[in-house]
Amino acid sequence: MLDVSVVIPNFNRASLLERALKSVSNQTHPPKDVVVVDNGSTDGSVECATRCGARVIRFEENLGFSRAVNEAVKQCTTHYILVLNNDAVLAPECLARLYETAGDYGAGFATPMVMSEAPSGLLDAAWDLLASSGCALRAGHGRRPKDPFLAARPITFAPFTAILISRALFRRLGGLNEEFGTYMEDVEFCLRCAMADESGVYEPLARATHLGSATDGAWSRRMVYQISRNQLLLVALHWPRPLGLRLAWTVFIGQSLWGLLALRHGCFFAWLRGKRDAYAHWDQFRKRPPCAGSREFYSILQESDLAIRRLSRGAYWRIYRLLTPSGGA
């Protein structure tokens, strides 16, 4: 039995939750504890979690992904926490491989190769990257599992689809930022890790599958609103003061191009509302003291921008590279 607590936030997805819990129970090396944090479901999710042997923390309303994870971690005592989306399924050796690799690398967190369920045979996620614009790239998304995604490697940013995290690190950094709620909260947390000189590891021998956007739906108005808002709040909270002309231009281009993607998917007004609401809190966020850390902020962005230029595909990133040829950092 591994010194791990599995934490699964959930909202009204009982059938998916049951799959996720079964994959946890089928691990070759089971965790000590399994916790489902239910955000006010009305579809029998709580009964499903109880039937599967999980410990349940229940909210009366949907308080978001970040709040759910933070509350669960407060009630856990294990060395590691595995945060798992309710629409993700772990391969039988996933937990053991993550646990071993995190220990071998001395990493604060570890993430598996996550394959997409639809379409099958393609990557859903390997690791994340953060552009100087405040927009993120899910490295490997939609690609075949080939190099450079077949080798274990240190990483700076990781998706919280399925991630093993040191509980001590999570608590020391104050957990997930609950003001971000859902979407971009993982990027913001990993940025704080990087500034504290804490890194993670990607282990492709650990495998999981992910349905993706099961709660909100792909390009839903709620998803677009949250991402649009949180992209700008991320900049307000962590980017240098003053921003500087080159970095401000990069932020404007990257986030405006993302708005054009939202327009293409019929969600432009959700994108606009997100920016409007973030701008309303801009001064409040900018007045907060910068996150203290031993690693220089610009070096983090420069390293990530270079990786994006190597790994990114698609029209969005091509235009972004063209209009911000040297990046903002």
* CATH code of 164's domain: 3.90.550.60
Asked if omega into 204 is within 30° of 0 (cis), the reply is: no
| Strand 123-125 versus strand 109-116 pairing type | antiparallel
Indicate if 82 and 109 belong to the same structural domain.
yes
Indicate if 202 and 236 belong to the same structural domain.
no
- In order, the DSSP letters of 61-92 are S---HHHHHHHHHHT--SSEEEEE-TTEEE-T
**Over the stretch 301-324, which tens digit does the pLDDT of each residue have?**
999 999 999 999 889 999 999 999
Residue 19 identity = R
Give residue 258's domain range.
221-323
d(CA 304, CA 300): 6
Distances (CA, A) of 199 to 43, 47, 108, 307, 329: 38, 37, 6, 16, 20
In a domain, 143, yes or no: yes
Tell me what pLDDT residue 318 has.
93
Residues lower than pLDDT 70 in the chain: 213-217, 292-294, 326-329
Indicate if 147 and 278 belong to the same structural domain.
no
Domain count, the chain: 2
Indicate if 149 and 231 belong to the same structural domain.
no
Global pTM exceeds 0.85: yes
d(CA 115, CA 124): 5
- In order, the DSSP letters of 178-199 are TTT-SSSHHHHHHHHHHHTT--
d(CA 23, CA 162): 12
In a domain, 60, yes or no: yes
In a domain, 54, yes or no: yes
Tell me what pLDDT residue 296 has.
85
Q: Which residues contact 39 (CB under 8 A, 6 or more apart)?
A: 9, 10, 11, 59, 61, 62, 63, 64, 68
Indicate if 41 and 178 belong to the same structural domain.
yes
Tell me what pLDDT residue 241 has.
86
Q: Other CB atoms closer than 10 Å to residue 264's CB: what's the count?
A: 10
Closest CA to 88 of 152, 156, 178, 10: 10
Tell me what pLDDT residue 327 has.
60
Distances (CA, A) of 291 to 67, 91, 237: 20, 36, 8
d(CA 130, CA 99): 25
